[in-house]
Structure 1
Amino acid sequence: MQQAATATTLECICCSATFVDSLNLKYTRCEGCRREVSETILKQLGGARFLAMTGAKHLMFCDGNLRFKLSNNFAKDGINFVDIQLTKADLYEVKYSKITHSRTKGPQELIIARDSMVYGDMLRSTFTAATGLYTSL
């Protein structure tokens, strides 16, 4: 027999509010803080101008992360997926990947580059150096 997943009550590391993690996804932030952190990352990258200049799409706001897809064969080294994560030291860790799909093997991720200990004001220049895409005019 399958056991039903039990909900866990957790405390947000940002605002100390308690929230229920009913799917046991091991979140560390409440819904409001997760969205706020991800929106802040997007603003530091340039907001709407960043989206227009890079063609970033399918934005995913996760637990202190911002993930998005880039068009295939648009960025340097075939990078088509970027994951930006806020660390406990209030710095960012950025992972640049190439995701491919095949019928026999399914989706596969090849990590092209990683940048760690990136300050918020360095996100744009780090992104441009890794992908070759400018974030604004």
Structure 2
Amino acid sequence: MSTSPAPKPEIVEEAYTILMQLGGKEFLTMTGAHKLMAAGRSDSNPNPWLRMDLRKNQAQVNRLKITLMPTDTYKVEFYRQVLVDWSPVISHEQTFEMVYGEDLPELFRSVTGYETRLPVIVRK
């Protein structure tokens, strides 16, 4: 009786790039972001995106969605989504457009209050 290994999740290349621009594993560790979802580029979806759930923060948002736009910049959406009578209710929306990849960590920090990278300790 043999069991086959669990299938590996497919990596969406654009979403992986977004995560790396945020800080990769270090970002996930420092912020507690979890439940990552991604959609790649397709005929029905020309703009790939990465979405994640966030822990409690100063902006009171629990979701982040980052979408790659045709201008090679990002649309960044922070919002709070809860279920009320099995229907999603969205509040606390904050949307930022024309965000460059190198600006993603600072934008995340300014909205949520969480650092995205481990501090560097310098000994003298």
Same fold (TM over 0.5): yes
Q: Is the 8 A contact 2:60 2:92 kept in 1?
A: no
Q: Normalising by the residue count of structure 1, what TM-score does the alignment of the two structures yield?
A: 0.70
Of 84, 93, 100, which residue of structure 1 is paired with 2:75?
93
Unaligned runs of 5+ in 1: 1-31
Q: Work out which structure has the larger RCO, using CA pairs closer than 8 Å and 6 or more positions apart in sequence.
A: 2
Tell me the matched-pair count.
Answer: 102
CA distance in structure 2 between the aligned counterparts of 1:45 and 1:105, rounded to whole angstroms: 32
Please name the residue that 2:54 is paired with.
70
Q: Which residue identity is paired with 1:52?
A: T
State the TM-score, normalized to the length of structure 2.
0.77
Which amino acid in 1 is paired with 2:35? H
5+ residue gaps, structure 2: 1-9, 41-47, 119-124
Point out 4+ residue stretches in structure 1 off by more than 2 angstroms: none
Q: 1:122 aligns with which of 100, 103, 106?
A: 103
For 2:72 and 2:97, the matched residues in 1 are separated by 11
1:2-81 matched pairs, under 5 angstroms? 35-63=12-40, 64-71=48-55, 74-81=56-63
Q: What is the aligned-residue RMSD (CA, Å)?
A: 1.6
Give distance in 1, aligned partners of 2:97 and 2:114: 19
* 8 Å contact from structure 1 (residues 97, 112) kept in 2: yes
Query: Which residue matches 1:14?
Result: none
Amino acid at match of 1:47: G
1:82 aligns with 2:64: yes
Deviation at 1:111, TM superposition (A): 4.3
**Identity %, equivalent residues:** 35
1:110: how far off?
Answer: 1.5
SS at match of 1:38: helix
Match of 2:4 in 1: none
